[in-house]
A and B are shown apart, each in its own frame.
Chain A
Amino acid sequence: MSFKTTTLVAALLGVTALGAQAQDLRIALQSDADVLDPDQSRTFVGRIVYASMCDKLVDITPDLEIIPQLATGWQWSDDGTSLTMQLREDVVFHDGTPFNADAVVRNIDRSQNLEESRRKSELSSIVGTEVLGEHEVRFDLSGPDATLLAQFADRSGMMVSPDAAEAAGADFGLNPVCSGPFSFVERVAQDRIVLERFPDYWNADEIHFDTVTFLPIPDTTVRLANLQAGDIDILERLAATDLQQAQDDPDINVDSAVSLGYQGITFNVNNGERGDNPWGNDPRLRQALSHAIDREVINQVVFNGAFAAGNQPFPPNSPWYHDEIPVPARDVDRARELLAEAGYPDGIDLEVQVPNTTVPLQLMQVIQAMAGEAGINIEITSKEFATLLADQSAGDYQASQIGWSGRVDPDGNIHQFMTSGGGINDSHFSDPEIDSLLNEARVTTDASVRGESYDAAREILNEELPIVYLYHQTWIWALDDGIQGFTAYPDGMIRLEGVTLEQ
């Protein structure tokens, strides 16, 4: 009897002790991730999952400084054409394969040569990799590349187990093997992605959860209700309009950071036949629209003031922001003058395509009302995203409300949009001076030289306005009040080092 009682008590204790230990963290995402292969993936939420699963060569601080992660240090050659990195020596992949210089070489090779790889352009400057020692590697570049370290801080720098990747080929995403704090357990599409603690993680002391579950919950109101009901612990992208309610809840903490990206209106300047229209041909019209709108009011009305008004590809708090071109105040008279100068004193029509979700539609209706007061008659066409993207890329549009999620390096926010033939230059804007300025900014690691180039480019682009920038989203996280040690990053990622949950 007493023996039984003892075992029972022991069992119960064991269970409770285990219960206290086995801590699961539940994170609600706005949408489901795509394929979980760092070389093939494309979505923002996918990167949030990687932040817990796949370590990168380098990481960033909340102030966007590059800091060591798998690489402990690095040196540029004097001419900037080679980068030597020393690697952490106590790292193994989730399948037990040791991490070393050879693994880095094979990873770069995969990112550059796997036919399905989406990382090719990010790593295009690397022409050779050389193993200098067990934990030292050198990258040889075709020319200086200021963006490379920032690429290494994202998917291009994520190290996957080379053996597992070789075995799985393009199907690696079904069972990814990296070296991060948590390893992949299972994925049920649209339902959950489950990761478990990796006991051999090099920084295991900083990790305080046994499992992490990512749950895609698309509806913002429902995400918040789940947090309030205690079904989840962290949610990303709280709606700005729900901010007040979350702040008023004593059991919820809120943290936020202005994102690296932007939202704006892209004009078809020269993309196909439809580029030949007044709005594409005359920058004065685009200036008029920019003057007609009140970016602060947009922020207040649509986002309860939680986002940041903007007029450049970089948010105003960014070191790359050109301070001499501040966010313009609304000036309807100037807008009307510009219309008159361009030959439309009685007003002009503008057709804008908008993705068919609530926020863009709301935003565009606000702009429609503002522009209307300046004589610009906006016609909104709501399209589902696939159609919108296809029409935009094919030049079958006059103007398009679209944004960019943002990159750590400033180049990622401007180069491919504004240079002739740039990868995402759907506007087909082309200006030789802009090309040379933006290319120059790419090949020097000297921040002040780069800053001057970007400022000079901004001054031209602020007159040309192929994109009228509107605002910068703020990432807003809502957290259970037991969550301690969470840090908001402008890249929108959730880093779990040092994060704990007290219940």
Chain B
Amino acid sequence: MAHSSDRLRDDTEEHLAEGAVDVIDPVLATAPENRVWKKFRTHGSAVFGGILVAFFVLIALLAPILPVPDPAATDWGAVRQAPSLDHPLGTDEIGRDVLSRMVWGAQASLMAGVISVAIALTLGVPLGILAGYFGGWTDAVISRCTEALLAAPFLILAIALAAFLGPSLTNAMIAIGISATPIFIRLTRGQVLSVKAEDYVEGAQAIGLPTPRILTRYIFPNVFPPVLVQATLTVATAIIAEASLSFLGLGQQPPSPSWGSMLNTAKNFLNQAPWMALWPGVGIFLVVLGFNLLGDGLRDALDPREH
């Protein structure tokens, strides 16, 4: 939010138009950022969500100094052991401490979740707005490319990327981000299509408001809620997808842990060691819950109609 108002101040031409907008603007009152922050702060569940996310981010950052054993250290005498005092979350299939792997895996998983979603957002939202708002050939080109991306099996893209770029977490995040882009394009485009026909947008067009203004002022706020919801949900999918990619040689390579690959391995030990699946599952759940609550708070705070 702060970002968009900074840009407004830099741009004098648009600044001039602002007076005209305020008259007919049913959406935003003055000094939006203060109100938004205030509403957000008092939003109990959003603060809880923020704390959850901050907690995991902190864990990911502090992994090297937390008092946990080496995540790759094996103990042949303690393979697939249930949670105990020595290993509070149990041990895995080759006797490594699950707690430590959860802590160290948080980094790869959060990055896979957040950065790939960020990539998908930066690509998907502008393209979706372009396609929906301008229609015609712009829409045709963007939409057909989206269809192409959707129709190409993800596996082929992933294997090709793994072969050409080699294994790294960054490449995995790029692959996941690109494959998650179509959903944001389509979602944005659909919203834009329905907002575009609203009276106030047509009014703004009628008084000759510059297109970038219409986009940021009217279109974007309406696109924002579903995109935000989808983004907070895609975090979960991306964390899990990282694991499939590491199996193709694209993501984190063993013995480095990630929640997704821990979950993947646990699949084979559901009978003997159910906790191996439990903890990464819980971790992903809490992170996703955190992001979703945070998203709800942001959504409410940004919704101008709700007071």
Known A-B contacts A241-B272, A387-B163; A356 and B95 likewise in contact (beta carbons under 8 Å): no
Separation of A7 and B19 alpha carbons in the complex (Å): 95
> Which of chain B's residues have a CB closer than 8 A to the CB of A356?
247-249
**Does A6 interact with chain B (Cβ within 8 Å)?**
no
A387 near B249 (CB under 8 angstroms)?
Answer: yes
Query: Which of the residues B248, B268, B269 comes within 8 Å of A382, measured between beta carbons?
Result: B248
> Which of chain B's residues have a CB closer than 8 A to the CB of A382?
167, 246-249, 253-254
A221 near B271 (CB under 8 angstroms)?
Answer: yes
> Which of chain A's residues have a CB closer than 8 A to the CB of B254?
361, 364-365, 368, 380, 382
> Which of chain B's residues have a CB closer than 8 A to the CB of A224?
271
B93 near A384 (CB under 8 angstroms)?
Answer: no
**Does A274 interact with chain B (Cβ within 8 Å)?**
no
Smallest distance from the beta carbon of B249 to chain A beta carbons, Å? 5
Smallest distance from the beta carbon of A307 to chain B beta carbons, Å? 15
> Which of chain A's residues have a CB closer than 8 A to the CB of B73?
369
Separation of A300 and B270 alpha carbons in the complex (Å): 19
**Does A2 interact with chain B (Cβ within 8 Å)?**
no
**Does A191 interact with chain B (Cβ within 8 Å)?**
no
Contact with B along A379-390 (1 / 0, CB 8 A): 111111001000
> Which of chain A's residues have a CB closer than 8 A to the CB of B255?
365, 368-369, 380
Query: Which of B167, B248, B255, B270 lies at the interface centre, i.e. has the most chain A CB atoms within 10 A of its CB?
Result: B255
Query: Which of B264, B270, B271 lies at the interface centre, i.e. has the most chain A CB atoms within 10 A of its CB?
Result: B271
Separation of A365 and B73 alpha carbons in the complex (Å): 11
A381 near B249 (CB under 8 angstroms)?
Answer: yes
Query: Which of A302, A361, A364 lies at the interface centre, i.e. has the most chain B CB atoms within 10 A of its CB?
Result: A361
Separation of A242 and B267 alpha carbons in the complex (Å): 12
> Which of chain B's residues have a CB closer than 8 A to the CB of A361?
254, 265
A interface, size bucket: 20 to 34
Smallest distance from the beta carbon of B169 to chain A beta carbons, Å? 14
Separation of A357 and B112 alpha carbons in the complex (Å): 21
B94 near A301 (CB under 8 angstroms)?
Answer: yes
Smallest distance from the beta carbon of A493 to chain B beta carbons, Å? 25
> Which of chain B's residues have a CB closer than 8 A to the CB of A381?
167, 249, 253
**Does A254 interact with chain B (Cβ within 8 Å)?**
no
Smallest distance from the beta carbon of B51 to chain A beta carbons, Å? 35
Query: Which of the residues A358, A366, A387 comes within 8 Å of B159, measured between beta carbons?
Result: A387
Closest to A242 in B: B271
> Which of chain A's residues have a CB closer than 8 A to the CB of B167?
381-382
**Does B222 interact with chain A (Cβ within 8 Å)?**
no
Closest to A362 in B: B93
Smallest distance from the beta carbon of B73 to chain A beta carbons, Å? 8
Smallest distance from the beta carbon of B93 to chain A beta carbons, Å? 6
A366 near B249 (CB under 8 angstroms)?
Answer: no
> Which of chain B's residues have a CB closer than 8 A to the CB of A245?
271-272
**Does B233 interact with chain A (Cβ within 8 Å)?**
no
Known A-B contacts A364-B254, A369-B72; A384 and B269 likewise in contact (beta carbons under 8 Å): no
Closest to B273 in A: A241
Q: A387-418: which residues lie under 8 A (CB-CB) from chain B?
A: 387
Separation of A366 and B73 alpha carbons in the complex (Å): 10
Separation of A387 and B160 alpha carbons in the complex (Å): 10
Contact with B along A69-101 (1 / 0, CB 8 A): 000000000000000000000000000000000
> Which of chain A's residues have a CB closer than 8 A to the CB of B79?
301
Q: A191-237: which residues lie under 8 A (CB-CB) from chain B?
A: 220-221, 224
Closest to A379 in B: B253
B74 near A369 (CB under 8 angstroms)?
Answer: yes
**Does A239 interact with chain B (Cβ within 8 Å)?**
yes
Separation of A368 and B272 alpha carbons in the complex (Å): 24
Known A-B contacts A364-B254, A369-B72, A380-B253; A221 and B246 likewise in contact (beta carbons under 8 Å): no
B94 near A362 (CB under 8 angstroms)?
Answer: yes
Smallest distance from the beta carbon of A30 to chain B beta carbons, Å? 13
B159 near A221 (CB under 8 angstroms)?
Answer: no
**Does A297 interact with chain B (Cβ within 8 Å)?**
yes
**Does B137 interact with chain A (Cβ within 8 Å)?**
no
> Which of chain B's residues have a CB closer than 8 A to the CB of A368?
254-255
Known A-B contacts A366-B94, A382-B248; A239 and B253 likewise in contact (beta carbons under 8 Å): no
Smallest distance from the beta carbon of A6 to chain B beta carbons, Å? 52
Separation of A366 and B267 alpha carbons in the complex (Å): 19
Contact with A along B265-283 (1 / 0, CB 8 A): 1011111100000000000
> Which of chain B's residues have a CB closer than 8 A to the CB of A365?
74, 94, 254-255
> Which of chain B's residues have a CB closer than 8 A to the CB of A239?
268
**A–B pairs, 10, beta carbons within 8 Å:** A221-B267, A221-B268, A242-B272, A356-B248, A362-B265, A365-B74, A368-B254, A383-B248, A384-B247, A387-B162
Q: Nearest 8 pairs between A and B by C-beta?
A: A369-B74, A356-B247, A383-B249, A382-B249, A358-B268, A380-B254, A297-B76, A365-B254
| Chain A residues with a Cβ under 8 A of chain B | 220-221, 224, 239, 241-242, 244-245, 297, 300-302, 356, 358, 361-362, 364-366, 368-369, 379-384, 387
| Chain B residues with a Cβ under 8 A of chain A | 72-74, 76, 79, 93-95, 159, 162-163, 167, 246-249, 253-255, 264-265, 267-272
Contacts beyond the supplied A242-B271, A365-B74: 18 A-B pairs with Cβ under 8 Å: A239-B268, A241-B269, A241-B272, A242-B272, A297-B76, A300-B76, A301-B79, A364-B254, A365-B94, A365-B255, A366-B94, A369-B94, A380-B253, A381-B167, A382-B167, A382-B253, A382-B254, A384-B159
